[in-house]
Amino acid sequence: MKTSHNSKDLEKEIIENAKQLFIEKGFAETSMSDIAARTGINRPVLHYYFRTKDKMFQAVFGSIVLSFVPQVQDIILQKDLPFRERAGKIIDAYYQTFIDNPCLPMFMIREIYRDPGHLLAVIHELQLEQYLHKISESLREEMAAGLLKTVPLVFVFYTFYGLVAMPFLSRDLLPAAIPDTSFEATFALWRPHIIDQLENLLYPQA
């Protein structure tokens, strides 16, 4: 081992760089040249490791989905905590992820829009079905027990993701349209509002 890398390290380094670029610019507007340049290697090396751009994206997409999804599992099942507190914790978990990587919401929406198959494949191959099932069942149980209002589960996801993602989807528009607003100040007020809205959707005695 003369260099600081062996093949496995290089592969991981490529994936990490590809991940960042795909998240930032999306699949279509990220070129193999971009990824190679960022990693400091030649284009053919990428094809040696992944053969095609699409296979490369698939290898990266799973890792992105994982960074997007898993931190909620424990929270939602803590049924001793009141709904309001669990909602707040989940929102904070997502916002932590999104503030670290503000392009993630747009990336997810864009790529799911382009081809939902990628997401479904990843869900299957990483065995996330049971994870989703657990969350769905948990909600359904609390609805059946009268602890939550009975509404279609899709509405919970629409409301949650719609409200959480919105500030990131419209990123540069807010400062451009209303010059003297800080994201932090807006978020500090927006967070309790999301909780209010979820409570309004799900809480019987609101």
Partner DNA sequence: GTCTATAACCTGATAGAC
Partner DNA sequence: GTCTATCAGGTTATAGAC
Residues that bind DNA (CB under 7 A): 5, 7, 10, 30-34, 41-45, 47-49, 51-54
- Asked if residue 23 lies in contact with residue 101, where contact means CB atoms within 8 angstroms, the answer is yes
What are the C-alpha distances in Å from 114 to residues 88, 122, 178, 193? 31, 15, 31, 31
Q: Which does 190 bind (CB under 5 to 8 A by kind): DNA, a second copy, none?
A: a second copy
Residue among 112 and 144 whose Cβ is closer to a second copy: 112
Closest approach, Cβ 58 to DNA, in A, equals 12
Q: Which residues contact 167 (CB under 8 A, 6 or more apart)?
A: 174, 183, 186, 187, 190
Rounded Cα gap, residues 17 and 46, in angstroms: 12
Residues ≥6 apart with Cβ < 8 Å to 138: 76, 77, 79
Count Cβ neighbours within 10 Å for each residue of 102-112 and write b for 16 or more, e otherwise: ebbbbbbebbe
Site string for a second copy, 4-43 (x = CB under 8 A): ------------------------xx--------------
- Asked if 187 is part of the footprint of a second copy (rule: CB under 8 A), the reply reads no
How far apart are alpha carbons 35 and 50 in whole angstroms? 12
Range 119-178, binding a second copy (CB under 8 A): 119-120, 151-152, 154-155, 158-159, 161-163, 165-167, 169-174, 176-178
Which chain residues interact with a second copy by CB under 8 A? Answer: 28-29, 106, 109-110, 112-113, 116-117, 119-120, 151-152, 154-155, 158-159, 161-163, 165-167, 169-174, 176-178, 181, 186, 189-190, 193, 196-197, 200-201, 206
